[in-house]
Structure 1
């Protein structure tokens, strides 16, 4: 079985992330992980932190994926595969959404994405073939999104500094027949590798990773 992290942040992009590529890879290699999905924050705080001018022309996706690219290079030294993801937050809400298997163009214009909101974004991510999972939907200041706009719910989030009310997230996913994921929500030393998924196959790339989640052919890693 292959061990995969689904929810992780880097210091390069996420303003709340403390860990760089080498520290992350050392920790996940020691914990026996085979792959990591980098889900740096895609929100106003992020773009202020990295001093990105959203009013200038041209795609912003490659710059946003700096953490992914650095981890991917470092991962080659450890034999750990790295997949591109994002944790989106739209204006006017504290909700967060894990996005998997997207093409660069989908996130090219952060100003448009963040200002339009989830309802406008839903048909676009689906047309792109991407997958959207609501992260920790019952955490303080978060609310579960309408199920018809989602593919799944993160039902096990083990960030130690938040109570994500995982029992409520699980109940919501079961009620609406949504996909379920588990993630460490790694930001700092000590957060690494507390959960994730186990699968019999190891996806080759970010799109294969999204296909794996979509298939449901995995199990959640639950702490002892």
Structure 2
């Protein structure tokens, strides 16, 4: 079984991220992961942080973290997968997106103005998979979105500095028979004691592969502490 991280942040494209590419790769190699989904924040903060307004290649600006980690991954024998944690301008909900291909998220301002209802249709047209991240992180003003607009919920977010009421998220996903994932939501090196993800018989090579694995539901949930 291949161990896959579904939710990880870098210092390059997430205001809250603390880890550089080598730190991330060293940590995940030590922990025995085979693939890492870099899901940096895709929101107006990242847009401004990386000066996307004034560069022609806005995808490169928004996905700087993924590109940095991907560039060095060849020395680690770890697959690095492009993902995104999108926060639309309408509220503070976050959505993990997989299946990203060139050009699909190339207009950040247009994407962020869509909101989840419009983006849900856009995602279907472009074969994207949407998983609402930490839907019950109430202290950050997150609220569960209607199941009709997404493919699943992050049932187990193992971020050590937030109470995400994972049991509620898992129950909600089960109620509507949606995709349920586990993640580390990694931001710092000290988060290594609460790492998560999924295990699959298939190793994803890119974001499209990752979307296919999630849609297949042929994977198990992973949490480091459950092994101890």
| Same fold at TM > 0.5 | yes
Q: 1:185 matched to which residue of 2?
A: 185
**Cα deviation, residue 210, structure 1:** 1.0
Unaligned runs of 5+ in 2: none
Three-state SS of the structure 2 residue aligned to 1:163 is: coil
Three-state SS of the structure 1 residue aligned to 2:174 is: helix
Q: 2:210 matched to which residue of 1?
A: 209
Contact 1:41 1:86 in 2 (8 A): yes
Query: How many residue pairs get matched?
Result: 222
**Cα deviation, residue 46, structure 1:** 1.3
Three-state SS of the structure 2 residue aligned to 1:105 is: coil
Three-state SS of the structure 2 residue aligned to 1:154 is: strand
Normalised to the residue count of structure 1, the TM-score between the two structures is 0.95
- Once residues 57 and 112 of structure 1 are traced to their aligned partners in structure 2, the CA distance between those partners, rounded to angstroms, is 16
Normalised to the residue count of structure 2, the TM-score between the two structures is 0.93
Q: 2:197 matched to which residue of 1?
A: 196
User: Comparing both structures, which one devotes a greater share of its residues to helix?
Assistant: 2
**Cα deviation, residue 174, structure 1:** 0.7
- What are the Cα deviations for residues 81-109 of structure 1, in whole angstroms up to 9, with x where unaligned? 00000000011211000000122322111
- Once residues 57 and 30 of structure 1 are traced to their aligned partners in structure 2, the CA distance between those partners, rounded to angstroms, is 36
- Once residues 219 and 46 of structure 2 are traced to their aligned partners in structure 1, the CA distance between those partners, rounded to angstroms, is 31
- Once residues 119 and 23 of structure 1 are traced to their aligned partners in structure 2, the CA distance between those partners, rounded to angstroms, is 37
- Once residues 195 and 205 of structure 1 are traced to their aligned partners in structure 2, the CA distance between those partners, rounded to angstroms, is 20
- Once residues 29 and 37 of structure 2 are traced to their aligned partners in structure 1, the CA distance between those partners, rounded to angstroms, is 14
Q: 2:110 matched to which residue of 1?
A: 112
Query: Cα distance 1:59–1:148, how it changes in 2: closer, same or farther (>3 A)?
Result: farther
